[in-house]
Structure 1
Amino acid sequence: MDEDLQAARLRAASLFQRPGFLVRRLHQIYVALYLQECEPFGTTPVQSSVLQVLLLRPGLDQVTLAAEIGVDRTTLSEVLNRLERRGLIARRPAEHDRRTRRAFLTDEGAAMVSAMQGALDNAHRRLIEALPPEARQAFVEQLLVLVEANNEQGRAILKTY
């Protein structure tokens, strides 16, 4: 085997030691699991995040909602438009500033969020079920540490608590 080929193989193997590569791959896997579990609802993970947040905090404006889930306002605007066209959310002008629109789940949206909880739980469970039960919470906590420590580096800032 020539040295260039051997060096290329070593570099490729080192991908499996690179956190960025592994995080990207794990995200791809999660999206596939999400789509398998949530296919009947016809949503994306970002749409689901919006719906989940609006269930807990109805009436958020676009800027606040974008920060709650860590997406840029342009992406969020497109997501909100799609959810509104489906009748899952409604947007109304804020009382204090008519230019600001607040988002609310419709009855249909709230019913769908409730109906999809089991599917969401299954997707998340399936993602980490290969870990020993006692390691699962620690894994999530370490992910949170990484997200919080690197939050300012993202294209959109996630509001952390």
Structure 2
Amino acid sequence: MPDLKDMPGHLIRRLQQIAVAVFHGEVEAAGFDLTPVQFAALFRVSTNPGVDQVTLAGLIAYDRTTIAGVVDRLVQKGFLSRKVSEKDRRARVLHMTPKGLTALEQLTPAVLEAQKVILSGLEEEEAAEFMRLLRKATEALNDLSRAPLRAKPAGSKQD
């Protein structure tokens, strides 16, 4: 059996631990208490105003049954508003609040810094290649996920 240091799953788990720790450190230094998933949800709602919760879960590759808790916390923080959809009374649509837009603007530099720190052990060319390979691997295995990334809704803004 190979050593743990030679197992991609183990290394990916370790990098995830590091990435979350770095994210929290940068975001807390900016004065916010937000998780990476909450940030992803906030960002996606900003680029897809009026998105429903189920679609949001697909846009951030998050479990459909637990997205409501993420949204609940963002609503409690005053970053999002949630209301019943006029098109489908079963659906809840989401919009950024002014407080959420301000928070996203203030958070963005901290989140970008976290991304730099996460890749700081690599040279610039290595980081670009790592990102290319990471995207390729996650795209190839997307359908194996319990919460696969889903395409953007029609007419949505590009990132």
- Do the two structures share a fold, i.e. TM-score over 0.5? yes
**Contact kept? 1:148, 1:160, Cα under 8 Å:** no
Greater CA drift, 93-102 or 138-147: 93-102
Specify the alignment match of 1:120 in structure 2: 111
Match of 1:21 among 7, 10, 13: 10
Specify the alignment match of 2:27 in structure 1: 38
1:135 counterpart = 2:126: yes
CA distances 1:71-101 after superposition (whole Å, capped 9, x unpaired): 1112211000111111110012222112211
The alpha carbon displacement at 1:160 in A equals 4.9
* Paired residue total: 150
Match of 1:157 among 148, 152, 158: 148
Q: 1:160 to 1:137 in 2, by over 3 A?
A: farther
CA RMSD of aligned residues (A): 1.3
Superposed structure 1 runs of 4+ greater than 3 Å apart: none
1:47 counterpart = 2:38: yes
Question: Highest CA radius of gyration, 1 or 2?
Answer: 1
CA distance in 2, matches of 1:75, 1:51: 15
**Contact kept? 1:91, 1:103, Cα under 8 Å:** yes
What residue identity is the alignment partner of 1:43? L
Match of 2:86 among 68, 91, 95: 95
Instruction: Compare the two structures and name the one with the higher helix fraction.
Output: 1
The equivalences for 1:53-92 within 5 A come to 53-92=44-83
Q: SS of the residue aligned with 1:60?
A: coil
The alpha carbon displacement at 1:69 in A equals 0.4
The alpha carbon displacement at 1:139 in A equals 0.9
TM-score of the superposed pair, with normalisation by structure 1 = 0.89
List alignment gaps of at least 5 residues for structure 2. Answer: 153-159
